[in-house]
Every structure is written in C-alpha cells, then in structure tokens.
Structure 1
Amino acid sequence: MSMPKGGNAPVEAGAVRIELSWRTGPGVPDVDASALLLSGGKVRDDGDFVFYNQPVHAAGAVRHEGKRTADGTTADTLAVDLAAMEPAVDRVVLAASADGGTFGQVPGLSVRVLDATGAPTGSSGAGSGGAAAAGPGGAELVRFDSQDATVETAFVLGELYRRQGGWKFRAVGQGYDRGLAGLATDYGITVDDPGPAPAVPVPPGAPAAVPEAPEATPEHTAPQGQLGASTRTPPARTASAPAPTPVRLSKVTLTKEAPAVSLTKQGGTSGALRVNLNWRTRQAPAGSGWGRKLTRALAGPAALDLDLGALYELTDGSKGVVQALGNAFGSLHAPPYIHLDGDDRTGAVASGENLTVSLDHQHLIKRILFFVTIYEGARSFGDLNATVTLTPQRGAPVDFSLDECTVPSNVCALALLINTGSELVVQREARYLVPERGVSPQRTVDQAYGWGMRWAPGRK
C-alpha cells in the first residue's frame, strides 16, 4: 500500500533495495536514481553522493545497481546495507533526476523499499562488498507514489533516517527545477559539470578504425582463472584521505552520426572500466511478417541467454577471448586485464551482463572488441531492446542503444576500445553479423574484425 507524502514507517530489515520505477513511452524522459549520505543535514564530502557516475560508496554500504525494463515499466535500483552504514551517517536521501524533460512528463513515478536481508549478492557483476543485491521477489516494506509533479527536473522522493537505534523511511516528494546539479549542490556536493565530452564524428564512408592483425595466426590460448571479485575493495575512509574531485554529472551517448569518444580526453586514464549489457524483449509491430518470424524465433523452451564477451589483443601481440563459454572469465590484475563478472543465464539479474577492464594497464592493451552472442532461447536478436553502457571510474559514462535487428543474427559486435598510442577511444559498432552455416558466432566476429584466432567447440 502506498503511503502519503510526509508519512513515515519503520524499516526493520538490515539491508534494503530501493526501486525507483516509472512507465516508459513516447516522450517520456529517462530517469536516474541517486542517493546522498548525510551527517547533520549535509554530505561529509563529494564521495557521499552515489549515482550513475559514482555507483559505489567508499564504505560499500550504498550501491547504484542500474536499470531494468519489463512490461513497459523501468526500474532504477539502489542497494543499501543499513547494518553496515557508517555511524556518522544519520540519513540517506533517495533522489531522482529527469534526463531530457520534466517529471510532469513521467507517469507512474514511485519508490519502493524492498527487504534485501539475506539475499545473495548478484553473481553477474554488481561487484563485491557492502550492499547485498535483492532478488526480484524481495518483500515490499513501504512504497510512495509521486502524483503531483509538474516542471520539476529533480526530486527527493524519500529518505531513510535513524531513529532510536533503528531506521525509518519518510515519503518526502520535494521537487527541484534546477536538475540533479541543483539538488546535489543544496546538500553540499561540489559539482563540476562542463557538459558531455564531444563525441568524435566519423566522415561518411570512412572505414572503422580497426588496427590490422599481424600475419601470424596464434592458437586460442587457454583461459585465465576466474577471480573471486571483479573490483578492488574500496579503501577505508580516513581523516587524512584526500577529498574526491568534484563530481561530474555529464553523460556521453554515441550515435551513428557521432559513434566514437576519447576516454583519455575525459580523464578516463586509470581505474576500472565497467562494461554493461542490459536488455529486454519488445513486441513486434502488428502485421509485420518479419516481426512474426522473430517472435517465433524468440519463442522456445529455454529462457533467453545472452553472453557478453570480449576479443582482446595486447601490445605484445598476444590475443584471446573472455567469455562464459569455456569458463574463460579472464583476470583483472593479470593479462588480459579483463574480467567477466559472471553469467546471467536468465536475464533476471538487475545488473545484466558485465565486464570489467583495468585501465591501470591500458598501455598494455592494443584493442578490445566487446560482443554479445545468443547462447540459447532464441535464434535471432529480433525483438531485442538492448543498451550498452561503459562506465569509467573517472569521466562520464558512455552509452548507446542497439539498432533494431532486421537480419537472422545471433551475434552482435557492440563496441571497440582502441589504444591509438596517444589516447584511448571507444567506438560504437552495434553491428549484427550473420554466421555462415557451420561457423560459430565467435569465429564470425573474429573473421569480421581480423583477429586471426583458431577456435574449438566449447561449453559452459
């Protein structure tokens, strides 16, 4: 049952999942969830702001888990481990911001607090430490539906606050017309938001910037062992630790007209680069013959299982693949400096499929091609609505949507990460490939991009 604005209720779970949701549709702007950790009404430093560009709090108790869309409703999720919250934090503000519109254009906006106590951490890569990830079936503790939005571009929907040794939730519903920057600044965040870095246009007819492969054709090397964790443990907060640099609120969206961006020019020269693939299926247009074929192709006894992978080439000439097939999960702290966080076999995990690349070793990386294959559950990417997001530890996240698939493809080249020698460039590919009869999807990607590897059958 939804509570009224200003109402409050006890939260007796040790860990919760905050689900901000709204109905999608034409003209509806995108919405982003965020959290601010307060002490005495203000943040202690800029690290107390958790959002899409800064997804994990240093202490690990609050984590931005990302978005999922199903049945016309999108949910952006935050995980909060109340039992692990630092004693100095007395309030966690739960906020929302509209990207490209106002909240008067966002129908069905609500925030739910779900019980995540005892839920296992998602294996497909929200990362390690701190907050537990709740499954879709977590019990709803409280809910607030926002119904009076007009010109606001940011909202404080609710807050978790300490009271007599426990935690409570309050429905707030306070709007801002100055966007996320205005909201964050009011709570003490220093915002450095000069706007998104310019995407690099590619002249019409210019070839993709793919370095030539060497003449030698190496054998497919054995996969590296899977690490126990995909990211480094956040450092403990100390009084002498330097304050974080001002937060950036900008995003970069790649398009056909502007398909590339320099991570180097954005400051993405070190730390972890998280590559996320999230998807949902969509209904085929009525009366579409091809759509009917794709709908039948998606129908089957098995759930749709997509596998995110990466072909890599290092500067020493070594090549290989990181993928779930053959348990080739890679390594983050040793060659190839790429790690597949897990395998989402059902599409039910909120964070989708994730890879992490260590940019601390970018001088050893020549190029990486991120791709996705259908392992089972469908014969084609038809009716798939997928988004790719590359989130560097420093700099703005880079995202793009895949075009509609109009060919019988079961493998898609997503993006290229290229070390040009002077900068690191991300290039949107979004290229559906159709394997020849008897040729595996992985070999098809290899041949299309000149990797020159040898392949053998594998299972997972």
Structure 2
Amino acid sequence: MVNLTKGGNAPLGSTTLQVSVAWKDRNPNAEELDVSCFLLTDAKKVRSDDDMIFYGQRQSNDGAVRVRDMAISDGSGRKTSFNVDLSKLGSDVTSIAIVGTTAAGPVTALETLQITAAPETGEAIVFDIATGEATEAALILGELYLRNGQWKFRAVAQGFNGGLAPLATNYGVTIDEPAAPPPTPPSLAPAPTPAPTVNLTKVTLTKEKPSVSLAKKADGFGQIEINLNWTQTGGKKKGIFGLKGKAIDLDLGCFFELSGGQVGAVQALGNTFGNYEQPPFIELAGDDRTGSSTNGEWMRINGGQWQNLRRVLIYAFIYEGVPNWASADGVITIYMPDGAPIEVPLNETSNLGMCAVAEIINDNGGIKFNREVKYFQAHPQMSEHYRYPLQWRAGRK
C-alpha cells in the first residue's frame, strides 16, 4: 500500500481500478457526504453534462466510470465508491477529479476522510485527508490524471467555496436552478429550446414530507429504475441468542395493478421476475441470493407504458439474516430520467418480515410517489391491507 500526503502522486498499476471515499461524521445524524467524479479535458472542463457522475447520474456514457456504492455504511462510517476503467475513456479526457461536498456546513464536520485508489493489479494508493482546518463545504479530494502515457493518482485536498453546484459549474456543468419566469415576448415566435441541464436535487420522502408528484408527460416517463441497497454484513458476527449470523439478504419486489384491474406480484420468490416490454411492464433485474452484491437489487418499470398501470406498491422483505430493519440500514432509491432521485430510507426498528416502502400511483397520467414504510408479518397481510386480492402459497427461490 502506498500512503500519500497532500500534493503527492503515484502511478497506477493498471487502468482498471476502484476509487473509494470513506468518512466518519462527528455527528451520526448529520447530512452525508456527496461524492462525485468529473471527466475533464486538458482545459479542466467537462465535454458535456454527461461527464459528471454523481447520485443523479450514476454512469458515464462510455462506461468508464460508474457508481459502485453510494454512501453505504461500512461499520465505522460511510463509503462511496466508483468502478473505473480508464481504457474506455475518449482520447480527449486527460483527468478525472474526485470531489466531496456537504449539504450544510464545512467539511470540518467530518471526523475522518480518506480516499483510496485500488488498481486491479499493483498496490492500493491511500490518502488520509485532514479536515480540521477545512472551512469550505466542498473539497477536490484527488485526481486521476494522464502524464506521458501513464495514468497516476494525485492527492489534492483543495477546498472550494459554495458546495456542489458552484463546483460543478466551475468544471463547465450546466446546473438546473429555479428561475423567475421570463417576460412575455413581444411576438408569437416560439422560444428557443433550453439546453439540457443537470439536476442536483435529491428528494427524500419522510414522515413530514411523504409525497412527491410528477406531471403527465406526452412522451411517457422513460425507464424508471428502483434500487434496494443495504448494509451487507454477517458471517462472522454473532446474531441474537448467540447464534452465528448469516449475511443479510433483503429482497425487492412489488405488487401491481394494471389499468384493466389485473393484479399480480413481481419478485424473486417464486421466480416471478415480470416483463418489461409486455404486461405487467415491470421487471426485476436480478436477485442477489448471497447478500454480497454491493449494488443491491434493481427493478425497472416501463414508463413508456405508464398509461397501462394503475398503481405499483414497492416492498422489501427479509429473506434471511437481520433481526430487525434498523440494523439493515436499507434504502430504496427511485431514479427517473432527467429527474431527481427519490429516496426512502428504511431506518425504523421492526422485527416483522416485510416492509411496504412506497406506492407509485397513476394520477390522471402523472405519477405520485407516496412513502409508506409499514411493516407486516408476510405477503398475505400486506396484500390484504393494500387491497391486492392475491392467493398465496409457500414458495422459494
């Protein structure tokens, strides 16, 4: 392992690597650190808004950088990491900046902060960042850069005033911000189409703010992606009653009702994985049967067929392990094309096996997201509560 100090650099052993940022907050209830990557040219600017990889845009167009974990608990703090394949970058990209920003307050709120570049071959490069004197809400943590045909990592730790939006703007990203309506034009000539922008807003549904709605779109909503992620621990740690705990395995699923009244379920249990192109227009992307996948589980809804869906109830259930939901530290995130991610944390304590997380309702062609976070013993009790007339029998995956 290579340990760097501020300003130091080291060559990477391969062009395939994982970049991780780990931190521990002095206040456990504080806002998380948002970690982003920017693909930059020699001018230290992005080529387009697609070159910003963050919680709302989790992969670059060329697949060179993609989010692996997003603010997951690692036992002592939290961690965000990216899979990077430098060989996939265009020839005009000569560096990748890795930055961290806080939503409120300076970076001094962090007790520890570390960035690691771990190549597929060769030694990992580690940089421990001193946060005690950082007065800014944003830090350029480190940089992957190309020099004389060799990719290297540089320890930066450079503060930046303002937070994520001004930092992204500095790199040439166009940020979507609310603006006053323009004055009425003197003629009937159509207004020019605005350039696409990046939305940095992240919506968290809570007890206080349990709903959010999207207006009807003439061309549909595109692909709606739903992710379930959780703290994946177990195996060595003893569980309740002193028994050896198993790795956590949460499963993602949904009940659905089509516009014609037909109801059903999509889940790995019973191998009812659904279909994206045909009814029910919902598909489970896969099932992590070991609890070891750091990407969690994914489901997608065909928003182009939204008129054929009446409602969808997203749920999670404990397949094995985890004595209660609070210890799983789970979160469901709903990703909408060109929209802000919608998060629903599963941070309440319950020893019941199922959690109804969120209901997605067709509201006259629009979409309404309702936070539920209600716990049930099993499928029959939950389907009865939400009026899904389904017959249940024992199943396995």
Q: Please show how residues 201-350 of structure 1 align to structure 2 within 5 Å.
A: 245-264=196-215, 269-280=220-231, 296=240, 299-300=243-244, 302-350=246-294
Superposed displacement of residue 42, structure 1:
1.0
- Aligned residue identity for 1:72: S
Task: Check 1:94–1:378 CA distance in 2 against 1; reply closer, same or farther (3 A cut).
Answer: closer
SS in 2 for 1:276: strand
Q: Which amino acid aligns with 1:60?
A: G
CA distance in 2, matches of 1:387, 1:354: 12
Who is 2:390 aligned against?
Answer: 453
| Distance in 2, Cα, partners of 1:243 & 1:77 | 33
Structure 2: which amino acid aligns with 1:141? Answer: A
**2:182 — aligned with what?**
none
Deviation at 1:268, TM superposition (A): 11
Per the alignment, residue 88 of structure 2 pairs with 84
Q: Tell me, what secondary structure is at the counterpart of 1:280?
A: coil
Distance in 2 separating the partners of 1:330 and 1:151: 50
1:143 aligned partner: 126
SS of the residue aligned with 2:14? coil
Corresponding residue number in structure 2 for 1:19: 20
CA distance in 1, matches of 2:381, 2:194: 47
Q: 2:174 aligns to what SS in structure 1?
A: coil
The answer on whether the counterparts of 2:256 and 2:311 sit within 8 Å (CA) in structure 1 is yes
Question: Match for residue 134 of structure 1?
Answer: none
Paired residue for 2:343? 399
Gaps of 5+ in 1: 118-138, 196-241, 283-293, 435-440
Residues 76 and 194 (structure 1), Cα distance of their counterparts in 2 relative to 1, 3 Å cut: farther
Q: Specify every segment of 5 or more residues in structure 2 that has no aligned partner in the other structure, as ranges.
A: 180-192
SS in 2 for 1:47: helix
Q: Which has the higher strand share?
A: 2
Could you tell me which residue of structure 2 aligns to residue 54 of structure 1? 57
CA gap of 1:27–1:417, structure 2 versus 1, over 3 A, is closer
Counterpart-to-counterpart distance in 1, 2:243 and 2:370: 33
Instruction: Give distance in 1, aligned partners of 2:368 and 2:241.
Output: 36
- Structure 1 residue 100, shift from structure 2 partner: 2.7
Asked if 1 retains the 8 angstrom alpha-carbon contact of 2:248 and 2:328, the reply is no
Q: CA offsets per residue over residues 38-72 of structure 1, 9 Å max, x none?
A: 11221111111111111111122111232321212
Partner of 1:409: 352
Residue in structure 1 matched with residue 38 of structure 2 by the alignment: 36
Q: 1:265 to 1:252 in 2, by over 3 A?
A: farther
Q: Distance in 1 between matches of 2:324 and 2:219?
A: 34
- Partner Cα separation in structure 2 for residue 267 and residue 299 of structure 1: 55
Residue 327 of structure 1, CA deviation: 2.1
Residue 272 of structure 1: CA displacement? 2.2
Aligned length: 375
Q: TM-score, normalised by structure 1?
A: 0.76
**Residues 140 and 76 from structure 1, CA distance in 2 versus in 1: closer, same or farther, beyond 3 angstroms?**
farther
Q: Does structure 2 conserve the Cα–Cα contact (< 8 Å) formed by 1:28 and 1:101?
A: no
Q: 1:298, 1:367 → 2: CA distance?
A: 43
Contact preservation (8 Å) 2:240, 2:323: no
CA–CA distance in structure 1, aligned partners of residues 197 and 332 of structure 2: 26
Q: Give the letter aligned to residue 393 of structure 1.
A: P
State the shift of 1:429 in Å.
0.4
